C-alpha cells in the first residue's frame, strides 16, 4: 500500500531527539493534538500494558477511547486502536497522505506515525486517547499533547546512549512528559526514581501520586486477563490512574478483556514474551519462578544494541538449552553470533536458520520465546496465537 511505502521510506532518517519536526507538521495540519484529550504514558517497561488496561477499562465505563502504542508486533495498524478495533488501512491511508503533503523531507518514521495518530484521534470524537511515548519522554514526538493525566511506569536501564546511564538520569527524561498543573502518577519504582519524579512534579506545580499509595494488588478484579506478576504490578498502576481520573467502578469490568499479546503470552507449550532488556527479563523471571517453570527450551533473538549478556544470565536458571535465531530487524544479531555468546555464558546452545526451524528443534518441550518484540510477533503468528487478522507483516522501525 502506498502509505506503508511512504512511511517505510522515512526509516532512513532514524530518530530525532527534538520536538521541532513534529511541531511544524502538526501546526501545518491545524494542531489536531489540541483536540485530543490525552492520557500520556512514559516508562521503560509496562507502559504499553498500562495503556491497554486503561483503554479496556475506560471503554467498560462507556467512554469512547483510542490508544496509540509502539512498536507493533505484526501489523502497523496495531499501533492505532479506536474503540477496541484496529484503525483500518483506509483511515490510515487518508491521514498519512495528509501528513505527507505537509511533511519536510526528513520527517522521521515515528514522527510521521505520531502525526497520523493525532490526526485520526482528533477526528474521532473521543473521550480519551491513551498515548504511549516511543522513546524517553521529554523529546519524544508524542510529547506535544496537553494531557489530563501523565503516567510514568517502571524505569530501568535501557537506551542508555540516548537517555542516560543511571535510573535518575532516565527518570529526568521520562519526567519530561509532566506538564504544569497536570497530575502525574508514578508506578512502583526505586526511592531514587520516586524522588526525581516528585521533584519535577513540584517544580511544575503538578500533583504527584505514587500508585502503590492509592491502589494495591488485592483490588485487581478476578478474571484479570493478563498473566505474570509484572502485569499485576502494571494493573496496580492502571487502577491508581482510574482513581485519579475518578472513573466509575464499572471500569473494573474492563480488566477481564485486556488484550496485550506477546507479553508472558501462553499458547500450548510456549511462553512468548518480548523481554529484551534486564528489567524486562527480571520481570519475566519473576513470573516464571511464580509459575514454577524450569528446564525450558529458550528460543531467543536480540538486537545488537541491547544488554544481551545480562538479559540472558537473568533467564539462564530457567533454561536447559537455548536456540538462537535472527529477528526480522536490521539491528538483529546473527544467529551464530548469538549462539556463541550463549555458550560463553554457560548455555547448551545452538543456532537455527529460522524461527520455524527453531520451533521444530524445540521438539514439543516447554519453550520460552523472547529477546525481541519483533520475534514475539513472528512467534504468535507461527503458533496461531496472533489475536487479530494477520493480513501481512509490516517491518517495524529500526530504532525501537
226 and 279 both lie in a single domain: no
Q: Does the global pTM surpass 0.85?
A: yes
CB 280 within 8 A of CB 45: yes
Bridge partners of 80, per DSSP, are 68
* Residues sharing a CB contact under 8 Å with residue 338, sequence separation 6 or more, in sequence order: 300, 301, 302, 308, 324, 325, 326, 351
Q: Under DSSP, is residue 300 helix (H, G, I), strand (E, B) or coil?
A: strand
Q: Is 390 among the domain residues? A: no
106 and 237 both lie in a single domain: yes
Which residue, 204, 230, 257, sits at the end of a domain? 257
Q: Is 397 among the domain residues? A: no
76 and 121 both lie in a single domain: yes
69 and 115 both lie in a single domain: yes
251 and 273 both lie in a single domain: no
Helix axes 109-122, 20-28, angle to 10 degrees: 40
Bridge partners of 299, per DSSP, are 323, 369
Sign of the CA dihedral with 367 first, then 372, 376, and 379 last:
negative
- Cα(201)–Cα(356) distance, integer angstroms: 48
Q: Is 117 among the domain residues? A: yes
Which CATH number covers residue 176? 3.40.1190.10
- Cα(33)–Cα(53) distance, integer angstroms: 22
282 and 225 both lie in a single domain: no
16 and 105 both lie in a single domain: yes
Which residue, 257, 275, 295, sits at the end of a domain? 257
301 and 207 both lie in a single domain: no
Domain that includes residue 288, residue range: 265-382
Torsion of CA 254, 256, 260, 262, to 10 degrees: 170
Which residue, 197, 228, 257, sits at the end of a domain? 257
Structural domains in the chain (count): 2
229 and 297 both lie in a single domain: no
102 and 162 both lie in a single domain: yes
Tens place of pLDDT for every residue, the chain, 400 residues?
576 676 666 655 466 677 999 999 999 999 999 999 999 999 988 999 999 999 999 999 999 999 999 999 999 999 999 999 999 999 999 999 999 999 988 899 999 999 999 999 999 999 999 999 998 899 999 999 999 999 999 997 655 455 656 888 899 999 999 999 999 999 999 999 999 999 999 999 999 999 999 999 999 999 999 998 889 999 999 999 999 999 999 999 999 999 999 999 999 999 999 998 898 899 999 999 999 999 999 999 998 888 899 999 999 999 999 999 999 877 889 999 999 999 999 999 999 999 999 999 999 999 999 999 989 999 999 999 999 987 788 876 543 3
Nearest by Cα to 258 from 81, 18, 40: 81
CB atoms within 10 A of CB 330: 12
Q: Under DSSP, is residue 62 helix (H, G, I), strand (E, B) or coil?
A: coil
310 and 200 both lie in a single domain: no
Amino acid at each position: 500500500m502506498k502509505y506503508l511505502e511512504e512511511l517505510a521510506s522515512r526509516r532512513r532518517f532514524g530518530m530525532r531527539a527534538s520536538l521541532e519536526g513534529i511541531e511544524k507538521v502538526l501546526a501545518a495540519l491545524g494542531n489536531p493534538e489540541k483536540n485530543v484529550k490525552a492520557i500520556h504514558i512514559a516508562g521503560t517497561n509496562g507502559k504499553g500494558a498500562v495503556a491497554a488496561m486503561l483503554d479496556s477499562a475506560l471503554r467498560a465505563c462507556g467512554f469512547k477511547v483510542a490508544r496509540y502504542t509502539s512498536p507493533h508486533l505484526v501489523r502497523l495498524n496495531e499501533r492505532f486502536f479506536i474503540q477496541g478495533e484496529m484503525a483500518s488501512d483506509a483511515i490510515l491511508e487518508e491521514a498519512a497522505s495528509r501528513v505527507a503533503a505537509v511533511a519536510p523531507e526528513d520527517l522521521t518514521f515515528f514522527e510521521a506515525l505520531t502525526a497520523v495518530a493525532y490526526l485520526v484521534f482528533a477526528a474521532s470524537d473521543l473521550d480519551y486517547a491513551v498515548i504511549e511515548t516511543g522513546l524517553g519522554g521529554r523529546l519524544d514526538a508524542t510529547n506535544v499533547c496537553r494531557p489530563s493525566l501523565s503516567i510514568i511506569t517502571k524505569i530501568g536501564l535501557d537506551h542508555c546512549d540516548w537517555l542516560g546511564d543511571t535510573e535518575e538520569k532516565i527518570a529526568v527524561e521520562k519526567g519530561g512528559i509532566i506538564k504544569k498543573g497536570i497530575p502525574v502518577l508514578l508506578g512502583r519504582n526505586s526511592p531514587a526514581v520516586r524522588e526525581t519524579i516528585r521533584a519535577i512534579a513540584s517544580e511544575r506545580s503538578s500533583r504527584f501520586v505514587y500508585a502503590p499509595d492509592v491502589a494495591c494488588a488485592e483490588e485487581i478484579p478476578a478474571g484479570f486477563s493478563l498473566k505474570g506478576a509484572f502485569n499485576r504490578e502494571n494493573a496496580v498502576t492502571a487502577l491508581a490512574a482510574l482513581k485519579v481520573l475518578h472513573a466509575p467502578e464499572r471500569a473494573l469490568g474492563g480488566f477481564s478483556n485486556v488484550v496485550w499479546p506477546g507479553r508472558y503470552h501462553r499458547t500450548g507449550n510456549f511462553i512468548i514474551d518480548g523481554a529484551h532488556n534486564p528489567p524486562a527479563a527480571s520481570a519475566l523471571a519473576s513470573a516464571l519462578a511464580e509459575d514454577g517453570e524450569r528446564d525450558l527450551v529458550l528460543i531467543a533473538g536480540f538486537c545488537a544494541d541491547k544488554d544481551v549478556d545480562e538479559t540472558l544470565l537473568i533467564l539462564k536458571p530457567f533454561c536447559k538449552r537455548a536456540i538462537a535465531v535472527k529477528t526480522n530487524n536490521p539491528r538483529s544479531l546473527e544467529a551464530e553470533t548469538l549462539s556463541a555468546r550463549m555458550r560463553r555464558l554457560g548455555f547448551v546452545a545452538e543456532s537455527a536458520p529460522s524461527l520455524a526451524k527453531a520451533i521444530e528443534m524445540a521438539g514439543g518441550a516447554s519453550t520460552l520465546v523472547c529477546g525481541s518484540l519483533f520475534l514475539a510477533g513472528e512467534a504468535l503468528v507461527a503458533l496461531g496465537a496472533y489475536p487479530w487478522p494477520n493480513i501481512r507483516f509490516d517491518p517495524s522501525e529500526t530504532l525501537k
